Structure 1
């Protein structure tokens, strides 16, 4: 766990800084800043759009008496994408945009579902269904 925290809080920002410096030397500092701002705005717009779509599907399922499990997983992934997009940098922005884009988000959902199933089989998680 300590290694994961180390990677998240030190190694990723160092890689981001290195990449920003390299891109800045090629396209210029101002253009690099504009690129980061553009990806941030694009991410915020897409997060809002996908979040609203997910909320509408969630409400529809709840109104029909269905458990909105898929929508809840979507909401968690969209929230994680928003958190990643807040972090300045291009790698994190690309990862955040991949989490928001429905085609790639579905791949992440399958990975999460598989992980949840493994955790449930190992009794690391308990899922209770209410009727």
Structure 2
């Protein structure tokens, strides 16, 4: 039953949008309806620019201080979805998009999603920050603790199992 909700929603949403166009067009006229649709698209683009840059700034600050940027990332995704809903024509999608631009609604969405997310931190050292800007250049490979890469040609190796036998499914590359 749960899997039927999304297809039915995709079918019902355009029908509801058409009904909303007809209702608004009857009440305010065709010209004003078209202006409202155009205005909502422009508002979506402007709000995306303003609020999107603010979220990017907060994500950068969270990364620099070593705090968890998960909340800000989810807010950023919701802002992009909200702008998309405002840009596409439709009054119901515009209402949903405008609601997603409200920070309290985004916080509600974050509280619903945060238990389902796993955030991986990198660069954790004793007393270090939780998030790093990337790997530091290391010119001396012998100091690394990780595995080293050895580049071999096809005729310089063969695959064997734990008992020293070669894989019977693989062609003999040495012949």
> Which category of TM-score, normalised to the shorter sequence, fits these structures?
0.7 to 0.9
Between Structure 1 and Structure 2, the one with more helix by share is 1
The residue aligned with 2:93 is: 92
Task: Indicate the structure whose relative CO is greater, using CA pairs within 8 Å and at least 6 residues apart.
Answer: 1
CA contact (8 A) 2:70 2:119 kept: no
Q: Distance in 2 between matches of 1:31 and 1:20?
A: 11
Give the direction of change, closer, same or farther, for the CA distance of 1:106–1:127 in structure 2 (3 Å limit).
Answer: closer
Flag structure 2 segments of 5+ consecutive residues without an equivalent.
125-175
The residue aligned with 2:75 is: 74
Alignment map for 1:45-84 (pairs within 5 Å): 45-84=46-85
The residue aligned with 2:32 is: 31
Between Structure 1 and Structure 2, whose CA radius of gyration is higher?
2
Aligned length in residues: 121
What are the superposed Cα offsets for residues 33-71 of structure 1, whole Å, 9 maximum, x if unpaired? 111111222222112111100000111111222231111
What are the superposed Cα offsets for residues 11-42 of structure 1, whole Å, 9 maximum, x if unpaired? 10111011111110111001011111112222
Structure 2 length normalisation: TM-score?
0.62
The residue aligned with 1:106 is: 107
Structure 1 length normalisation: TM-score?
0.80
CA contact (8 A) 2:37 2:90 kept: yes
Q: CA RMSD in A?
A: 1.9
Give the direction of change, closer, same or farther, for the CA distance of 1:58–1:126 in structure 2 (3 Å limit).
Answer: closer
The residue aligned with 1:18 is: 19
CA contact (8 A) 2:51 2:79 kept: yes
The residue aligned with 1:4 is: 6
